[in-house]
Structure 1
Amino acid sequence: MITIYFVAADAQSAERAVGGGPQGEDTVESEVDPTALAWLDAQLTGRDLDDLLGEDLTTADGSDAAMVGRSGGAYVVALDPLFTTELARADVDELLPTWLESDDVDGADPEDMSDFLTDLQTLCADAADAGHRVYCWVGA
């Protein structure tokens, strides 16, 4: 499985990535599934982890489900704006050690995860600066 986190102006723009993946420079490629970010979301936003992992994926503002589009084995989901805002201003060095202890990233290389989290944080900050959102494309 490949995951590519990317910035798009809106869900309609993000949905265009479903078929072949996002294009452009504002991307972060990783093997980190978006569900593995739930622990970070809970730590940063104070939301309940069980709620975040529940079947009803809604954003903090109560808008529609995070699923933007699906085609074959690929799909695009929107990351919650509250989470991306908090991650953009978080202390990655403080978050990383406890995230590495979570079941979500058990056994992951600490340096790879640090690079991923730093790159994702930059992507979140860039999206916020542009008034856009962060999405995740998942495919094979």
Structure 2
Amino acid sequence: MGILTDYFSAADDAQAGSAARTGPSSPDPLTNQPVFPTVELKGIDPFVVLGTLAGLLTDRPYAEAKTDPRHGSLVATAGDEGPWVVAVTDALVTALAATTPTALDAVAVRWAATEELEGSDPADLADALRRLSELCVRADDAGHRLYCWTSL
């Protein structure tokens, strides 16, 4: 089946942690709208694949990009077997929010050529990057941070 990954924005770690059990796209009981702005990106794990993206967007080696203390750091869990909420680095959010659609298309081609995404369609990755970038813009405008809800 693979890993499920929903990227979402929240004001802080405590608020993001509340999504551990139900997921970020669960509806608010009062409004029936998702509690958090969310983008579903199946197979884009917040550890290696997103670290590779961070390296590509910031022109830093993957080994350096993953040293950011927020890179994949555990925010909350619903138990030993998940689901989990992990942080996404502020540097990646800033980079995605500032990158033009044309530049995202070029990054998608480079990203598709990485070992982790070998065989992926660059057009599909470009679409994922545009959706993630839009989420980053909204998060940045609201002063929020980005998180990933992940489950096996």
| Alignment TM class, shorter chain as reference | 0.7 to 0.9
Where does residue 143 of structure 2 map in the other structure? 131
| Partners of 1:93 and 1:68 in 2: CA distance | 31
Tell me the equivalent position of 1:71. Answer: 78
5+ residue gaps in structure 1? none
Look up the match of 1:121: 133
TM-score normalized with structure 1 length: 0.85
* Higher RCO (C-alpha 8 Å, min separation 6): 1
**1:97 matched residue in structure 2:** 109
What whole-Å deviation, never above 9, does each CA across 1:21-45 have from its counterpart, x for those lacking one? 1032611101111120111211222
Q: Which runs of 5+ in 2 are unaligned?
A: 26-33
- Match of residue 11 from structure 1: 13
Higher Cα Rg, which structure? 2
Match of 2:50 in 1: 37
2:59 and 2:75 map into 1 onto residues whose CA distance is: 25
CA contact (8 A) 1:85 1:124 kept: yes
Q: State TM-score, norm by structure 2.
A: 0.79
Q: How far apart are 1:108 and its partner, in Å?
A: 1.8
Deviation at 1:53, TM superposition (A): 4.2
Distance change (3 Å), C-alpha of 1:48 and 1:109: closer
Give the RMSD, CA atoms, in angstroms: 1.9
* Structure 1 stretches of 4+ moved >3 Å: 51-54
Identity in percent: 37
How many residues in Structure 1 have an aligned counterpart in Structure 2? Answer: 134
The alignment partner of 1:34 has SS state of: coil
